[in-house]
Chains A and B, each alone.
Chain A
Amino acid sequence: HQVLRIIPTNDEELQKVQELQDLEELQLDFWLAPRGLGHPVDIRVPFPSLQPLKAHLEANGISYSIMIEDVQTLVDDEQMEMIRGRHGLPLSTNTFDYATYHSLDEIYTFMDLLVAENPNLVSKLEIGRSTENRPLYVLKFSKGGTNRPAIWIDTGIHSREWVTQASGVWFAKKIVQDHENNEGVASILDKMDIFLEIVTNPDGFVFTQTQNRMWRKTRSRRSGSVCVGVDPNRNWDAGFGGPGASGNACSETYHGPYANSEPEVKSIVDFVKSHGNIKAFISIHSYSQLLLYPYGYTTTPVPDQKELDEISKKAVAALSSLYGTNYKYGSIITTIYQASGGTIDWTYNQGIKYSFTFELRDTGRYGFLLPAKQIVPTAQETWLALKVIMQHTLDHPY
């Protein structure tokens, strides 16, 4: 193996080098990923790919130098990590391990890397701060324009549903990989923006990693109760406080003292209202393998029930097509239970017609403790369903 160094000096070179990241068959290992003009790109190249890569670079007039002539093939994985100076944090989104669960720091580092690697497509917005003052970050994927119609996706609003944050990370990378690809999201991004909030409840997430793996709620405290936290999916202003949520602060479905009391919820409400042009809103949970549309707080069907049901049918079929994973679909109240103050009931009532909630794998065998090896298959199949919803939104402007 050799390690080659390339320093892109113009946009065309930079683009060609970025494209190398997509050539999976070459198994290139980017020790330093492309960051911009003048920044070195270091690539460890396995022996079989050396000749084809060098030929490709030469044919495109891209100069390179050989930084390491012969990386010892007997260097084991751990030493490789040390040489890269990993220190537990990923160095590029190509070396990031999507098939494992990560800490909050690792996910926030991932976001910064993704933005640095793709500055023309991805930006990071801070939409607020959690109760414990952690930043609430949203990734924006945009090819330009001003206030384009947009799709919103959030994961991790319930912190114990770990496969959702992990899938969110995978979706972010996937959008970048596929943004020029017509089987991917190219046509969607040509007209619309995508907003992705990966860790919607960071306080809860940290708590699941340090204290209680089964923590669901936020970590807000109120005087007068020993119990902590509000269910962020009962805190929205849609049927707030009605049947389908609890008024008991110690309950897992405690709705909170008033609607939008939780900063994690309020920040999204404020964002949605000030953006004003969100056309699809998808909130992702686990587990149960369901695709749901409003309402949860009432048995009255939504006016768009027929259309949402048809979209769900198509989305679920697409999801199943990959690994045969079986999903059911329907309104929240008939498919699982009555739930008031829920996210997509509010977004629907705001006029965001294409409002959906997913409950990802599995159906109870592992439940919240889904083995890490199921992260990528879960994300892959869910992505197919998300694309159906996004495509329908693109094709049916309103």
Chain B
Amino acid sequence: AAMEVPLSHGLASRAAALATGYLCYRRGSPGRGLALRSLRRARRQDIDDVGHKYYLELELEDVLDKDSTVICTAEVLYHLGNKNIAPDVQFTLEGELKNTDEADNIFYNRIKSLEKELVAENIPDSHGNVPPEMEPIRLLAWVASGYVIWQNSTENTKFQLAQIKHVKQVKRSDEYLEFDYMILLHDMVSQEIIPWEMTVLWHPQHGVQVTQDSRQPKHA
């Protein structure tokens, strides 16, 4: 049996953040990051023996072009009990996402032709600055963190990417680009800042993949 339950903004916004992270991972690239502009509608059903299902209507915006928005209808299912299973997310998008082939290819070629591996720290810096040439590196982290957020979210977490502490390119002999990131995730519910390491693979035609990730210990 499934029962509709009243839903507070506090709970709904967590499911919205999770859905946005997942979506961004599935559709993002160094030329396109998606962020939540507004949560338009939300409701929740508690399904016996299964878990809690959220039905959401979100408006998302392109991080590089605020005027470019899409509407997303998403269903998020948090599984009962087992904390090791990532929530299920399904979504449909209304509206067109901008084509980023050109920007993606420019970035891809730029990195491929670097003599020394790219290394960078603190993106954004303390004052919120991101050097323009680092924006695709930042967006790639934004997209990849969507995967980490999706895999690690529960109804009691609300993660956002807070900062890239460190990023290092790893040269590969194949066509993929590989980056090792140390990121900080902010969990709004516990207010904790959680360092997380992730290895990210990308190719313009093959999308973003997180091949390894692990939570790191917090400093005292």
Residues of A within 8 A of B (CB): 100-101, 162, 208-209, 212-214, 216, 226-228, 231, 250-253, 288, 326, 328, 330, 333-337, 363-372, 374
Which B62-108 residues have a C-beta within 8 angstroms of A? Answer: 63
A250 to B194, CA, bound (A): 13
* CB–CB A337/B189 < 8 A: yes
Of A213, A227, A335, A369, the most chain B CB neighbours within 10 A belong to A369
* CB–CB A216/B191 < 8 A: yes
Total CB contacts across the A-B interface at under 8 A: 79
Interface assignment of B118: CB less than 8 Å from any CB of chain A: no
Of the candidates B37, B127, B193, which one forms a contact with A101 in the assembled complex, judged by CB atoms under 8 Å apart? B127
Name the residue of chain B whose CB is nearest to the CB of A246. Answer: B190
Can you give 18 contacting A-B residue pairs, CB < 8 Å? A162-B126, A208-B126, A212-B219, A227-B220, A252-B191, A252-B192, A328-B9, A334-B10, A335-B8, A366-B128, A367-B162, A368-B162, A369-B124, A369-B126, A369-B127, A369-B128, A369-B163, A372-B129
Residues of B within 8 A of A (CB): 8-10, 13, 17, 35-38, 63, 124-129, 160, 162-163, 184, 186, 188-193, 218-220
Of the candidates A101, A364, A367, which one forms a contact with B36 in the assembled complex, judged by CB atoms under 8 Å apart? A364
* CB–CB B160/A364 < 8 A: yes
Known contacts A364-B17, A364-B35, A367-B186: does B191 contact A253 (CB below 8 Å)?
yes
Query: Which 6 A-B pairs have CB atoms at the shortest separation, nearest pair first?
Result: A371-B128, A364-B160, A252-B191, A334-B8, A369-B128, A214-B193
Residues of A within 8 A of B218 (CB): 250
Of the candidates A228, A250, A334, A367, which one forms a contact with B160 in the assembled complex, judged by CB atoms under 8 Å apart? A367
Known contacts A364-B36, A367-B162: does B190 contact A252 (CB below 8 Å)?
yes
CB distance from A297 to the nearest CB of B (A): 14
Known contacts A101-B127, A214-B162: does B193 contact A337 (CB below 8 Å)?
no
Name the residue of chain B whose CB is nearest to the CB of A160. Answer: B193
Residues of B within 8 A of A252 (CB): 190-193
Of the candidates A253, A337, A365, which one forms a contact with B63 in the assembled complex, judged by CB atoms under 8 Å apart? A365
CB distance from B73 to the nearest CB of A (A): 20
Known contacts A252-B190, A365-B63: does B162 contact A330 (CB below 8 Å)?
no
Residues of B within 8 A of A231 (CB): 191
Residues of A within 8 A of B189 (CB): 337
A250 to B186, CA, bound (A): 16
Of B8, B63, B129, the most chain A CB neighbours within 10 A belong to B8
Residues of A within 8 A of B63 (CB): 365
* CB–CB B38/A372 < 8 A: no
* CB–CB B188/A288 < 8 A: yes
Known contacts A366-B128, A369-B126: does B160 contact A251 (CB below 8 Å)?
no
Given contacts A252-B191, A288-B188, A366-B128, 8 further A-B contacts (CB under 8 A): A213-B126, A252-B190, A333-B10, A336-B188, A363-B35, A364-B160, A368-B186, A369-B163
